[in-house]
Structure formats: C-alpha cells, structure tokens
Chains A and B, each alone.
Chain A
Amino acid sequence: MAGRQIFNPEGFKNVKEDGKITGFSFQFKLQYYRGITLSIIRDIPIWIDGESIAREDIRFTVADEQFTLEEMRTVISPDYRWEFGEWATVSVLREGGLSAGEHHIKAIQVVAPSYMPRILENVCECNFVIE
C-alpha cells in the first residue's frame, strides 16, 4: 500500500513566460497538522537530481501571490497562510527549465512552530516526469 501523497503528481512542469522557459515548478502540501503563517517557514532547500538549488532562485506561491523565501519571513497575513491540506506552488528560476524525462526531487520543509523545542525538517522526496 502507498503512503500519503505529498507532491501533486500533476504539478511538475516547466514555467513558460513570453514563449521562453524560465524555470520549473511543483506543488506539495505542508507536512504538519495545521495551517501556518508563511513567516514560520524558515527555509525550503531543494535538490533536483542531487543538485542543490540556490535559495534566491526559489519562489513560493499561495493564494496567487508569489514570495521569495526572504520575503516570507514577514508574511503573517491570514490571506497568505499555507492552509492545512492545500497545495502550495514552488517555482525555481532556471533558464530552460528541466529536460524532458525522469527526474528526482528532494525538498525539505523547514518549519518552526513556536511551541516546539526543535525546528521541524520534513524531508519530501519523489521521482517525477517532465513531459
């Protein structure tokens, strides 16, 4: 039997802007049990096929609003919570995006609920295909 679905299997795609591929994106759900303000997300390090992505190339989107990880440090609006059970879209700026075919992603949701003595590091990993 399969475990819980963390990534949206339909969410992996290259991002096109003005006819040019400027990066790629994926969707996943928060591995915690309640919704949170974006401000308590300390980091989302990402590796694609073992290669690490620069923090400043990562964008995070909820409720149609996009933030850098740095900007998220001050986002406490109820409009931009990462709600429990909802997909967030993460995009990575990368000219040309990802090549067609199979890839592997590892992303860590680094989240700091105030009451926990330790910061949560939820490791999310899967294989995916870019069409």
Chain B
Amino acid sequence: MDYDIKRSVSLYSYQDEYYNGQLDLEGCLRETAKTGATGVELLTEQMIRRFPIVTEAFKEQWFQWLKKYGLEATCYDAFLENHIYDNRTLTLKEQVDMMCRDINLASELGFKTLRTLVSTPMNVIEGSLDDAAKKNVKLGIEVHSPFSLNSGWADGYMEMILRTGTKHFGFIPDFGIFCKRIPDVLTAKARRQGASSECIKIVDHAFEERVHKGFVKIKYDTDLGKANREYMEANGLPKLVEAIEKANGNQADMAYAMSSFAYTWCDPQDIIDNISYIYHTHAKCYNTDENYVETSVAINEVVEAYKKAGYHGYLSTEYEGGEALRDTMEVDSIEQVRRHQEALKRAIEEQEA
C-alpha cells in the first residue's frame, strides 16, 4: 500500500536541556533539524512564555525559524486545564472555549493536528468539532498506555466519530502501547531505589507473560481511575502483588511492580485496523542504544504495520527516558533523540522493496 511516513520530533523530548538552560526554543528546533526530522511538535505551555498569549512578534519569529531549519509544524499538544480552580470543574462551555482557544492557536502557528489528552470529556470534543473543521486542525486523542486501540475505551470514541461523521477527530497512538519489555532505564532506577534482583525478575517475568498471552484491554469509563484499576486487576496485578509479598518485597519492589502496568504490548494490527482515524503518532522512546535499538519498543514491527496500513503522516519522537535518569545523572536527550530518529529512519527506509 502507498505510504508516506515522515519523521518529527516532539520538543517534549528536550525537556531536560530546556530545564537547565542548555537549549532554548530555537535551540530545540536546531537540534530537531540536525536529526534529519522534517517535522516539529510543540507543547506551547512548555516553551511559550505567558501562555495563552501568543504575540504577532512570536508568530513571525516562529515561522522564520521553521523556514530556517526546514521544519513543518506537526502537532500542538494541548492541556485542557478544566480544574484550573480547586473548587470546581469548568463548565462545559468554558471547557469548549478553552479547547477552541487551543485549536485557534494551533492553526495560527501552522499545526495540522492537535493532541488532546485521554481525560478530555467527550462532549468537549464534540463541542469543538465545528471549530476544528473551520480551522482545519485535526484533533487526536492520545492513545497512551494503558489505553489502546480496538478496545472498549476506543469504541467509545469510534461511536462518536461514526455518529457525527467528523473528519476532524481521531487517534494519536503513543508507542508506549508497543512495549515488549519494561524500559531498562526504569529497571535500573528501581534497582537504585532498592528493588531486589529477585523481585525485579518476578515483575519482568510477569510482564513477559502478559506480552505473550496478550493484554486484557481497558474499558471505556468516564472514571479513568476506575478503568485503570480494573485494567490492572484484569492483567494480573493481584497475583503479582502476592508474589512480591511472598518474596518479602520492599517498597521499591512494589513500586516497580505497579509501574510495570504503565507499559503495554498491543498487536500492531491495531494500527492497520484503525488507520483511517490516525492523524499523527507519538513515537515514544525510553532508551535507544548505540546500535540504534530501542530497548523496549518494537520499532521495526510497528513501523512495518504503518507501512502496510498505508500511513500518510508523521512519527514524532517523544523521548521520555530522562524521567528515569535525572535523579542521578545529567540527561542527554539530544543524543537519545538523534539515535531514535536514526532508528526510525532505518525502519522506514531499510525494509522498502
């Protein structure tokens, strides 16, 4: 099938260098271009001061930079701060207004897609569809582990897509749903925090079993906490807790066991089945080694599915391994993103007939 898979970098990836002042926004764009990526994804609330005020001067600068570094704006990551006050949830209208504000900003900054979080209420999405169509910005709900495609959870959104006939809402899969192993940097951190080899083995083995047997998928529930608890139970949490307790596991052992449920292995066929509704992709990564192998995500298998499906769009590197490192060392996101982009490039190009 005809496909056109392009590479992008989410500037989320460079958060450690941005945090310590090593890179500013332009620096992040420069590094993105150096990897060979042609797209850039932005968290406006991360790197634009005084959000949501975006000045004309900034817009002008932004487009100059895109031109200078040969980049296309791919995805705008929105945060619907619907609990901006601690004593109430914003009204439906306030939430829709907030979403439309972001759609407008995305459009003004040249973004074609907008990532919305799994916590976004369905009626807020529906209420924003007209604006999305007017501004020609495609909204995508992030399919972030433990959520998955072809699940009760996804069916809830699919029902809305089919009922409204919208062409401006779909899914943004995150590669955290394609983990064959728990990221090794996470395991190393657990060890530093006092997890025992015995318990790590138990947790890793249980994860392997889930991968082998297939994960039980998460259901649709407006109470996300409840959906998650049920999901963890259905995937063997009680048995795992029991095994850790039996091995006299400590707090670090238990924390490692719990965190293992943040990663999922889904059949890449899910991408093929849903391709008509996939507008953008977060190529999540945790640790790419010097041989360009991501130690957790099965990049080649997944990219193969995107090709088979005939995907026209971006795979956007979202490096998250720094989380497991920054307590003990300086994070080198620049190198991690470079390696991951190379890994994506090879997966996209090398297997072509």
A→B interface (CB under 8 Å): 1-5, 29, 33-37, 39-40, 42, 73-74, 76, 78-79, 81, 83-85, 112-117
Contacts and interface: CB of A to CB of B under 8 A. Distances in A.
Contact of A115 (B43, B85, B119, B330): B119
Contact of A78 (B16, B18, B50, B119): B50
B128 interface: no
Contacts of B326: 3-4
B275 interface: no
B57 interface: no
Residue of A33, A83, A84, A113 with highest tally of chain B CB at under 10 A:
A33
A1 B18 contact: no
Contacts of A79: 50
B117 A34 contact: no
A3 B329 contact: yes
Contact of A81 (B43, B51, B328): B51
B49 A83 contact: yes
Contact of B118 (A4, A36, A113, A115): A115
Contacts of B327: 3-4
A85 B21 CA distance: 7
> Which secondary structure dominates where chain B touches chain A?
loop
Contacts of B328: 1, 3
B53 A78 contact: yes
Contact of B12 (A33, A37, A112, A116): A33
B47 interface: yes
SS class, residues of chain A in contact with chain B? loop
A83 B119 CA distance: 23
A65 B79 CA distance: 25
Contacts of B16: 4
B80 A114 contact: yes
Contact of A40 (B18, B49, B81): B81
A79 B53 CA distance: 9
Interface of B: 12, 15-16, 18-21, 43, 45-47, 49-53, 79-87, 117-120, 224-225, 228, 326-331
Given A35-B46, A114-B82, 9 more contacts: A1-B328, A33-B43, A40-B81, A84-B47, A112-B83, A114-B79, A115-B79, A115-B119, A116-B119
Given A3-B327, A83-B49, A117-B228, A33 B15 contact: yes
Nearest to B87: A73
Contact of A114 (B18, B47, B81): B81
Contact of B329 (A2, A39, A83, A85): A2
A123 to B, nearest CB: 11
A29 B19 contact: yes
Given A34-B43, A73-B85, A4 B19 contact: yes
Given A78-B53, A85-B19, A37 B329 contact: no
B119 A114 contact: yes
B81 A37 contact: yes
A115 B80 contact: yes
Nearest to B50: A78
B20 A37 contact: no
Which of A36, A73, A115 lies at the interface centre, i.e. has the most chain B CB atoms within 10 A of its CB?
A115
22 contacts: A3-B330, A4-B20, A33-B15, A33-B46, A35-B45, A35-B46, A35-B49, A35-B51, A39-B85, A40-B83, A42-B86, A78-B50, A81-B49, A84-B19, A84-B46, A85-B19, A113-B79, A113-B81, A114-B79, A115-B117, A116-B119, A117-B225
Contacts of B50: 78-79, 81
Contacts of B49: 35, 81, 83
A84 B18 contact: yes
B162 to A, nearest CB: 26
Contacts of A117: 224-225, 228
Nearest to A85: B19
Given A2-B329, A84-B18, A34 B53 contact: no
A74 to B, nearest CB: 7
